[in-house]
Amino acid sequence: MNSISPIMHRYWSLMRLSEKGGEKKIKVFSYSKEGYEESELGSIDSLSEYLNSGGIVWIDLQGGHGREDVERLGEIFGLHPSAVRSALTSGQRPTYEEFEDHVFIIASQVYVNKGMIMREQISIFLRKNTLITIQERPGDVFEPVRRKIRENTGKIRSKGADYLAYSIMREILDHYFEVLEHLGIRIDKIEEGVLKSPDQRIMRELHEIRREILFLKHMAWPMRGVIDGMYRDESGNITKDTKKYLRSLQDMCLQMIEISETYRDMVSSMTDIYLSSLSYRSNEIMKILTIIATIFIPLTFITGLYGMNFRNMPELYWYWGYPTVLVVMFLIAVSMLLYFRKKRWI
- Specify the fold of 6-276: Beta Polymerase; domain 2 (3.30.460)
Q: What is the pTM of this model?
A: 0.76
The 10s digit of each residue's pLDDT in 171-188 is 999 999 989 998 998 888
The 10s digit of each residue's pLDDT in 286-343 is 888 888 898 899 988 888 888 877 777 777 777 788 888 889 889 998 998 888 888 8
Give dist(CA 265, CA 259) in Å, integer: 10
Query: Which residues, at least 6 apart from 11, have a Cβ–Cβ distance to it below 8 Å?
Result: 215
User: Is the pLDDT score of 146 beyond 60?
Assistant: yes
The angle formed by the CA atoms of residues 26, 70 and 117, to the nearest 5 degrees, is 75
The 10s digit of each residue's pLDDT in 90-113 is 888 899 999 988 999 999 988 888
The angle formed by the CA atoms of residues 338, 340 and 346, to the nearest 5 degrees, is 110
Domain residue ranges of the chain, discontinuous segments joined by +: 6-276, 284-342
User: Is the pLDDT score of 8 beyond 60?
Assistant: no
Query: Which residues, at least 6 apart from 131, have a Cβ–Cβ distance to it below 8 Å?
Result: 56, 57, 58, 59, 124, 125, 161, 164, 165, 168
Q: Give 65-90 as a DSSP string.
A: --HHHHHHHHHHHT--HHHHHHHHST
The 10s digit of each residue's pLDDT in 30-45 is 999 889 999 998 889 9
What are the residues facing 123 on neighbouring strands?
A: 106, 134
CB 47 within 8 A of CB 58: no
